Amino acid sequence: MPFSFPRRLPGRAYLLLGLLTFLLALAGRMTLPPLDRDEPRYMEATEQMVLSGNYLDIRFQEHPRYLQPAGIYWLEALPVLAAKAAFGPQALKWSWVYRLPSLLAASLAIPLTAWIGCAAFSAECGLLAAFFLLASTLFAAECRMATIDTTLLFVILCLEALLLSAWQALNRPSPVPLRTALLYWGALGCGLMLKGPIVLLPALGTPLLLGLTDRRFTLWRALRPGWGWLVSLAVVTPWCVCMALTSHGAFFRIALGHNLLGKIAHAQETHGFPPGYYLLLFVLTFWPGAWFTARALPQIWAHRHTPAVRFLLCWILPVWITFECLATKLPHYVLPAFPALAILTAASLTVWPPVRLPRWGKALLSVYGLFWMLTGLLLCSAGLLLLAHLHPSGPHPLSPPDFPAAVVLAFIGALLPLLASGLLILKGHLRQAACCAIGCAFITQTGIFLAVIPRLAPLHLSQRAADLFAANRPCPDSVLLSATDHEPSLVFLTGPATRLLTPKAAAQALKTGFRCDLALVDRKDEARFRQSLNALGGEMLERGRVSGLNYSNGHWLDLGLFSARFPAGFAPGFKPGKAD
């Protein structure tokens, strides 16, 4: 007898979804090193807030970090302060503490996606949509990082849930409750405190686009915009005023002028791609749901006039089109559209009857299915490929490969449901195929984060360099002078006093602080560093080496840690109170 879903999910189902998300997102969180380059910038700025007690001015070392408001840094500072009080100053270097807001936001975002899917279509649709989002590659990566995206996603889901609730209330005799409008404008203020104007794309785009398609702005008027904006303003104004005074207006010039408007016209940090970038990347970022979404497009078009579909399309389109048109593109920018895509995809499998495709449509779907299957195979075997090509001895394949049993089991455990999913697709059992593909994604992600990443020593280059520095530092307040590795993760792990310099500048700085400070230099820069130090009358002494891959730029580094020795009686820049 087939299982029958209830009309609405009970409260315990949402609790179980949140708990499952928490446990799945917990995998690998303790062993995952700070991921360059964005995550350690957030971590270091938060750490400096906690150390300085200044929770207004956002800084990375001495440089202002005026990219978005302080909301995410405050959220990360809360668990950091609690950990510091409970475990001492060493907790400031625990990456997992900074990732707790993302973990909690993810654990709330998945049940909220299920609620929206349930309210829009059915309990089965909501549940399947939640699993599509939870299994997606992009969500699995973002929910493990101490960045803003998962927390922002949760706030946007709150806004969309309130909009859907208000929209459905328009069909009832009673007016939209005042608390719904208050919560909406309050959540909008929280979103502005996290990411600034970006949150307006879904928050205002959805009701306004619905108004344009309906030719009447009933939903917008039901939100009480005449005074509602004052609620949002009350949330953001105190910090804005304080920040304007603290930075003398520099925050708004940089955040709005350079960061926001600059991304529209110019590609920043070499992240420029033409329109269509997110569409091409969708098969990877939304895997395993991507093929099922492509298959759902004719059904979505056939039901485009139904209220639930129009609501979800008015959620997706402002976000997707805007970011496709921006000059600067990063994969996570379109994450706010993924819950709506997941719900429409789930509806195509649980609510709507299939649509007969023309021959050319079947051919296109088959080609996309081939790319989908190849992407799945690549993800399943990612652990084996990474371990085969990244090991402590260098960027060369192991011969023969010596794979841990856990990695092999994860590969086999993920491959079997993937193959079953492909077979079920060919037989037309699409819901069962989706469940198998989701299971494959969960096994793959858990295997990578638990069994593979902890063994990828070359990717932990900053952590190993920081450990080498900690083991050899001659003074409690020794400073690391990095002449080659300028990644933010190194700064976070070795402290805000770390200096990122050229080889020549590192030699000059080491001359000043030679009694306590140490220099980190790549082998290719050692000749210049030695020459500069010798010209200053010093001799360099190697304290140890680490090698690994700087995955931000693809360069293999062989880093040496050096101290300096100068002639007897030489004491430039002697720092009183330091150990000799």
pTM of the model: 0.93
> Left (φ > 0), alpha (ψ -120 to 50) or beta: where does 577 sit?
left
Q: Of 400, 420, 455, at which residue does a domain stop?
A: 455
Tell me what pLDDT residue 397 has.
47
Name the phi and psi angles at 310, rounded to 5.
-60, -40
Within 8 A by CB and 6+ apart from 392, the residues are 457, 458, 547, 548
Tell me what pLDDT residue 256 has.
78
Q: Is the pLDDT of residue 259 over 70?
A: no
Tell me what pLDDT residue 254 has.
84
Q: CA–CA separation, 152 vs 109, rounded Å?
A: 10
Tell me what pLDDT residue 377 has.
97
Residue 479 and residue 414 in one domain:
no
Indicate whether 139 belongs to any domain: yes
| Nearest Cα residue to 316 out of 283, 359, 345, 350 | 345
Where does the pLDDT of residue 1 fall: very low under 50, low under 70, confident under 90, or very high at 90 and above?
very low
Within 8 A by CB and 6+ apart from 522, the residues are 483, 484, 485, 557, 558, 559, 560
Where does the pLDDT of residue 93 fall: very low under 50, low under 70, confident under 90, or very high at 90 and above?
very high
Q: Give residue for tokens 């009701």.
A: 207
Where does the pLDDT of residue 122 fall: very low under 50, low under 70, confident under 90, or very high at 90 and above?
very high
Residue 450 and residue 500 in one domain:
no
Q: Is the pLDDT of residue 577 over 50?
A: no
Domain assignment of residue 378, given as a range: 359-455
Indicate whether 553 belongs to any domain: yes
Running DSSP on this structure, what letter comes out for residue 172?
S
Instruction: Give the model confidence (pLDDT) of 123-173 as tens digits.
Output: 999 999 999 999 999 999 999 999 999 999 999 999 999 999 999 998 887
Q: Is the pLDDT of residue 16 over 90?
A: yes
Tell me what pLDDT residue 579 has.
35
Which whole number is the average pLDDT over 451-476?
92
Within 10 Å of residue 136's Cβ, how many Cβ atoms?
A: 26
Instruction: Give the model confidence (pLDDT) of 378-428 as tens digits.
Output: 999 999 988 888 765 544 444 445 678 889 999 999 999 999 999 999 999
Which whole number is the average pLDDT over 486-503?
94
Q: Is the pLDDT of residue 538 over 70?
A: yes
Indicate whether 541 belongs to any domain: yes
Q: Helix/strand/coil (H, E, C) string of 35-84?
A: CCCHHHHHHHHHHHHHHHCCCCCCEECCEECCCCCCHHHHHHHHHHHHHH
Residue 119 and residue 203 in one domain:
yes
* Helices 178-195 & 225-247 angle (0-180, nearest 10): 20
Render 219-234 in DSSP notation, one character per residue. HHHHT-HHHHHHHHHH
The answer to whether the bond into 473 is cis (omega within 30° of 0) is no
Instruction: Give percent of the chain above pLDDT 70.
Output: 92
* Helices 307-325 & 200-214 angle (0-180, nearest 10): 130
Tell me what pLDDT residue 202 has.
95
The two structure tokens encoding residue 338: 């993924």
How many domains does the chain fold into?
3
Angle at 39 between CA 108 and CA 452, to 5 degrees: 85
Indicate whether 14 belongs to any domain: no
Q: Is the pLDDT of residue 324 over 60?
A: yes
Reported in sequence order, the residue ranges of 269-411 that DSSP labels E, i.e. its strands, are none
Q: Helix/strand/coil (H, E, C) string of 235-273?
A: HHHHHHHHHHHHHCCHHHHHHHHHHHHHHHHCCCCCCEC
Residue 402 and residue 534 in one domain:
no
Indicate whether 274 belongs to any domain: yes
Mean residue pLDDT across the chain: 90
Q: Of 318, 350, 382, at which residue does a domain stop?
A: 350
Where does the pLDDT of residue 333 fall: very low under 50, low under 70, confident under 90, or very high at 90 and above?
very high
Where does the pLDDT of residue 113 fall: very low under 50, low under 70, confident under 90, or very high at 90 and above?
very high
Instruction: Give the model confidence (pLDDT) of 470-490 as tens digits.
Output: 999 999 999 999 998 899 999
Where does the pLDDT of residue 515 fall: very low under 50, low under 70, confident under 90, or very high at 90 and above?
confident
Q: Is 457 exposed, middle or buried (0-12, 13-18, 19+ CB in 10 A)?
A: middle
Q: CA–CA separation, 369 vs 426, rounded Å?
A: 10
Question: Which range in 245-249, 267-271, 313-317, 535-539 is most confidently predicted, on average pLDDT?
Answer: 313-317
Question: Which range in 168-177, 181-190, 215-224 is most confidently predicted, on average pLDDT?
Answer: 181-190
Which whole number is the average pLDDT over 516-535?
94
Q: Is the pLDDT of residue 354 over 70?
A: yes
CATH at 495: 3.40.190
User: Which of 254-263, 309-318, 370-379, 421-430 shows the lowest mean pLDDT across its residues?
Assistant: 254-263
Residue 155 and residue 136 in one domain:
yes
Q: CA–CA separation, 34 vs 48, rounded Å?
A: 16
Q: CA–CA separation, 368 vs 295, rounded Å?
A: 9
